[in-house]
Amino acid sequence: MQKAIRWYDHITINIYYFALTARSQTLTPLIVPLLVQQFVGEETKGTSYGNIRLYSLMIALLVQALMGMLSDRSTSKWGKRRPFIFTGAIFEVLIFIGIGIIAATLDGMTGYWVLFGAIILSMVASNTAHGAVQGLIPDLVPEAKRGLFSGIKAFFELPAPLIFVSFVISKMIAAGNIWGGLVVLIAVMLVCMALTMFVRETPQEKAPYDMDWASLGRLAAMTAAFTVVILGTGALVRWLINLTKDLDGIASLVLIALIGVLGMAVAVAVGVWISLNIGLGKDVKKSPSFVWWVINRLAFLVGATNIAGFTLYFIQERFPEMQGTAAAGPSAMLTMFVGVAILISSLPAGWLTDKFGKKPMIAFSGILATIGTIIITTIPGMTMLYVGGLLIGLAMGVFYSANWALGTQIVPQEQAGRYLGLSNLAGAGAGAIGAYIGGPIGDGKGYILLMSIYGFLFLLSIFALYGIKEQTK
């Protein structure tokens, strides 16, 4: 499948990540929290938002893994991956139009449940494309250049769309123009999809491995098991927190933070172990490093994803004068600082990863993100909020480059789509674990405490690196 690399391959292979992140950074921290707050009110907004995140992301987990496996075996004359990317993009555009109609015409719990369904469908469309696009680097890029390509992927996946959303789409949403933001997002999706169609795939005449129909059942069972782990852990966390209701002051906050951290850590470790044992079957025994890689990725992303997801509610609590859409502007500004930091770090991180090693750079990113979280939760003022965001952004740029380069090295080459699709346990599980378990904590004890809990997850992610053994193919 691999061909000589040309300059534009760096763009066409990675550009669709721009669309995927523009989508997530428009819906997750801006449109969905605002609409949930509008539909359900203040008291249960975190819990209601967490429910949407849990179930939509579990659908994402199932669909992305399935599409990765199906695209591995595709014999389409368009190539293995491009038909899935095209289909997902068109479906997504139709759903964005539906979300605009929901925002303009519905209210109350009716609006909430229709929005819930629309986000589920959006996850199906998004991950139809996402499951396929993840296979392009393993398919087409020589291993010696994957650090650089992973750095470029990180650039398109994080800083570029974050800056774009903060300067363009978020300003429309902050002004109450949700339709305008959705129209721009539709244009982004279509342009990125069109550019990806220029990827030079060679159609395969025969699937590289026989279709294991039992694997479809394992995917469904894996998703169900992961969901049960999150639901069970969330229920246990809420029960334990309820036991602390008679405590006051610092003791109560420290105990609840400890319960939250341990609950999320257990959900990460147990959820990944059970899910991959189901999803990979007997192959999991051949891939212990892959299991630990997913745990590392999931723990870090629980922090990164949910700090972004709850930024709007966090700012509303931190700065009481900023309520409703008034918090969208500062949220977008913080996102811009994170995006600039990722822009600064992502491309050098690819080079540094190739030079100094993947695991040391991943560990460094966990420490740096922890420091950034300490700053935003303990030092008051908007300026220090942006400083903390910069540090978290630098850490994310390093992490995305180094972690993905490590992942593409340790997965079996001939089943890259299958394995990297299963790695969405981290991408989907991060939002599900952090939002479902964290949402009620934010509603009950505040979003400053919740952000502190996410900071500990950055630190815990480092310990998973001890289980990863790097092997050169």
**Tens digits of per-residue pLDDT, 34-74?**
999 999 999 899 999 999 999 999 998 888 878 988 898 88
What's the domain count of the chain? 1
Residue 291 half-sphere exposure toward CB, CA atoms < 13 A:
20
Q: Is 210 within a domain?
A: no
Q: Is 472 within a domain?
A: no
> Span 108-136, mean pLDDT?
96
- CA distance linking residue 118 with residue 102, whole number of Å: 9
The amino acid present at 253, given as its one-letter code, is L
At 143 the pLDDT is 78
- CA distance linking residue 2 with residue 242, whole number of Å: 56
Alpha-carbon dihedral angle through residues 348, 407, 432, 117, given to the nearest 10 degrees: 100
> Span 453-467, mean pLDDT?
94
> Is pLDDT of 147 > 80?
no
Q: Express each pLDDT in 103-115 by its tens digit.
A: 999 999 999 999 9
At 3 the pLDDT is 66
Q: Is 425 within a domain?
A: yes
Query: Higher confidence at residue 148 or residue 267?
Result: 267
Q: Is 81 within a domain?
A: yes
Q: Is 209 within a domain?
A: no
At 252 the pLDDT is 86
Q: Is 439 within a domain?
A: yes
Banded model confidence at residue 344, pLDDT cuts 50, 70, 90: confident
Q: Is 197 within a domain?
A: yes
Q: Express each pLDDT in 80-97 by its tens digit.
A: 999 999 999 999 999 999
At 473 the pLDDT is 45
Q: φ and ψ at 379, to 5 degrees?
A: -105, 120
Q: Please state the three-class secondary structure of 337-348 as a single string.
A: HHHHHHHHHHHH
The amino acid present at 363, given as its one-letter code, is A
Query: Higher confidence at residue 72 or residue 424?
Result: 72
At 269 the pLDDT is 94
Of 472, 439, 457, the C-alpha closest to 48 is 439
Question: What's the token pair of residue 378?
Answer: 């303990």
At 39 the pLDDT is 97
* Other CB atoms within 10 Å distance of the CB of residue 216: 15
Question: What's the token pair of residue 124?
Answer: 């199906």
- CA distance linking residue 45 with residue 53, whole number of Å: 12
Residues in the chain: 473
Residue 352, CA distances (Å) to 293, 343, 359 in order: 19, 15, 11
DSSP characters over 135-186: THHHHHS-GGGHHHHHHHHHHHHTHHHHHHIIIIIHHHHHTT-HHHHHHHHH
Banded model confidence at residue 219, pLDDT cuts 50, 70, 90: confident
Q: Are 226 and 425 in contact (CB under 8 A)?
A: yes
- CA distance linking residue 125 with residue 95, whole number of Å: 9
Helices (H), 357-415: 358-378, 382-410
Query: pTM for this one?
Result: 0.85
> Is pLDDT of 215 > 50?
yes
SS3 267: helix
Burial (Cβ within 10 Å: 0-12, 13-18, ≥19) of residue 280: buried
- CA distance linking residue 356 with residue 369, whole number of Å: 20
Q: Write down the residue that tokens 């209210």 correspond to.
A: 107
> Is pLDDT of 121 > 50?
yes
> Is pLDDT of 299 > 90?
yes
Q: Is 391 within a domain?
A: yes
Q: Express each pLDDT in 348-399 by its tens digit.
A: 887 788 788 889 999 999 999 999 999 999 988 889 999 999 999 999 989 9
> Is pLDDT of 136 > 80?
yes
At 2 the pLDDT is 53
Q: Which of 28-32, 221-225, 288-292 is the most confident on average? A: 28-32
* Other CB atoms within 10 Å distance of the CB of residue 309: 25
CATH of the domain at 38: 1.20.1250.20
The sign of the dihedral angle between the CA atoms of 20, 21, 26, 32 is positive
Q: What is the mean pLDDT of the chain?
A: 89
Report the percentage of the chain scoring pLDDT > 90: 54
DSSP characters over 399-433: HHHHHHHHHHHHS-GGGHHHHHHHTHHHHHHHHHH
Q: Please state the three-class secondary structure of 85-145 as a single string.
A: HHHHHHHHHHHHHHHHHHHHHCCHHHHHHHHHHHHHHHHHHHHHHHHHHCCHHHHHCCHHH
> What domain range is 69 assigned to?
9-204+215-467
